[in-house]
A and B are shown apart, each in its own frame.
Chain A
């Protein structure tokens, strides 16, 4: 029984880590500009697809991963420049529609470029499962968890130790004040998109050996990452991570102990429950409306 539960926990943590990365991406962009970027899932997809096709064409894995991540960052920045910036003053709703449109557009372009098949990446360190206290864990899951931890540490360092990171934080607290002290909010937003694209792509590369890459992969991952961000409190990085892990765990436990048919619905039930009873999420600040 305990071994069963542990197995479910491993499964939940693995998916949860990916949702956490997606949720972090949402949080970073939201912090920089109150924009909810519905194309976040597509960043994950592009990272995974690019890496998979490059490796299939013969490029060694580390280089392919680097190129894939860099390419996705480029896509994120182009998206920001061409689609988000021109509509900056148009209001939240306009930007939501733009990012949804962008996600559809990116998916369409990806299909034209890469077709509709499934692609795989070899597991980074083999496929022999590790036995842990009666449950098994794939080495790739360890990679996923490890990479997410590394990313979180890197982000913490970036936001608290580097000047630009601090500038981004300042913009999220009060954009006007930040601009007054000379922080270009446009550059901050561009950097936010690049950073989120980086997070997404890294997640995509590291999860493809487990789930295979396909141009439709971004939709569900993006939506569940969104649930993670909402649960944690839109705008809180820590919240997004915790939110992602919780969504992953609850999903796995529910599927393993109750009904597996409704596994996918869990994340969205969580969104509803949180919004109705605790709209600021676990770690978010209470929204204050300026008149």
Chain B
């Protein structure tokens, strides 16, 4: 008996609360759906992404909207849990009736939602880094961030330039680290680089000296590449200096933020990593095609939210602008037409680089969208 009442009550409440969120009659606002990791282990990705989407949508609406229509954002928090992301993706396409989806702070949450979004035939721009999102190419799925493979290639190119061929890899046990490691292992041979040591660390490790000791003991290692994000790489960097390892230290684009420098302190001196134009906005030459866009976004973001901007909100910014441009070219929100226009994006200048997509390339960035930077005196110095 109790179960009956409880279930009916729950059902009615859910129905009324959620059904009201759906917009059955009016087609005026353009609905953009999103699920981001605002809470949870990837929250330093999700939270800036959410704030950026809201800020940019407000600005666009204030300037008159798109094709005379206002933009409406529907954002859910998946907490970094892929199963939740899948459920919210379903909610977005089936219940909320969104026209376009800009979502997926992490590769895991993105991949879990692809089946649903693909089946619903809604254009989907992901904000995650994994290669698997666009390789193999899926008709409705695009992404704005650089792939981890590009990060590997950028580092390897620099190593080759310096005559370093034996690498020790230290990667994080989460999705970003695992995927990055996989890509680096796959691309190393084409640069003539041999991976002599391959260690794993966990972001929760209080210290990484055990793994680093093993690396130091491996004969012939000439450089070390760390693939991770958040605090883990900072702990690694501090331990690295503590152990007195003098070999060149490379990091991934996951630490392309002042946060990393703040946490690692002096230990970060001399570290090299690939970074998007946005991170080094101040150091870009005025003739750089990205300069205007990234400088403006940096100023706006920092004015609105304080702190220092990092690559991640930039990806959300790029995704939204890219989508808006595609909607304008398509002359409406017909999903198939918008998808086609996104695919036709050419020389779009974003914070991550200059984007040119194609039917075989749903990301559109080339290797020079990354700058190789070195950390000197707690600031970035562009090397290429």
Contacts and interface: CB of A to CB of B under 8 A. Distances in A.
Interface stretch (B63-71, B107-115, B199-207, B247-255): B199-207
Contacts of A264: 173, 202, 204
Contacts of B259: 117-118
Chain B interface secondary structure, helix, strand, loop or mixed?
A: helix
B249 to A, nearest CB: 16
A260 B209 contact: no
Interface string B209-229: 111011011000000000000
Nearest to A7: B213
Interface in A213-251: 214, 216-217, 219-220, 251
B74 interface: no
Contacts of A279: none
B44 interface: yes
B213 A256 contact: yes
B243 A260 contact: no
A230 to B, nearest CB: 20
Interface stretch (A9-17, A162-170, A174-182): A9-17
A116 B44 contact: yes
A14 B205 contact: no
B270 interface: no
Interface in B101-147: none
A127 B41 CA distance: 28
Given A7-B243, A261-B173, A127 B206 contact: no
B333 interface: no
Contacts of B159: none
Contact of A118 (B39, B207, B241, B263): B263
Given A15-B206, A117-B44, A8 B263 contact: no
A55 to B, nearest CB: 14
A92 interface: no
B204 A120 contact: no
Contacts, number: 96
A260 B207 contact: no
A270 to B, nearest CB: 17
Contacts of A210: 206-207, 235
B54 interface: no
B187 interface: no
Interface residues of A, number: 38
Q: How big is chain B's contact interface, by range?
A: 35 or more
A220 B205 CA distance: 9
B234 interface: yes
Interface string B77-91: 000000000000000
Contacts of A217: 204
Interface in B27-45: 39, 41, 43-44
A120 B216 CA distance: 27
A255 B241 CA distance: 20
A4 to B, nearest CB: 5
Contacts of A111: 39
A129 interface: yes
B72 interface: no
A7 B239 CA distance: 11
A253 B210 CA distance: 7
A205 interface: no
B306 interface: no
A116 B43 contact: yes
A21 interface: no
A11 B207 contact: yes
Contact of B207 (A14, A129, A259): A14
Contacts of B209: 7-8, 10-11, 252
A160 interface: no
Nearest to A5: B213
A12 B201 CA distance: 15
Nearest to A116: B43
Given A116-B39, A116-B47, A212-B263, A260 B210 contact: yes
Contacts of B158: none
A198 to B, nearest CB: 20
A131 to B, nearest CB: 8
Contact of A260 (B211, B244, B266): B211
A-B complex: 3 closest residue pairs judged by Cβ atoms: A256-B210, A255-B210, A11-B209
Given A8-B213, A219-B204, 8 more contacts: A7-B243, A116-B44, A120-B263, A210-B206, A211-B231, A212-B263, A255-B211, A256-B214
21 contacts: A4-B213, A10-B209, A14-B207, A116-B44, A117-B44, A127-B242, A136-B242, A136-B244, A210-B207, A210-B235, A211-B205, A212-B231, A212-B234, A216-B41, A216-B204, A252-B210, A256-B211, A260-B199, A261-B173, A263-B200, A263-B205
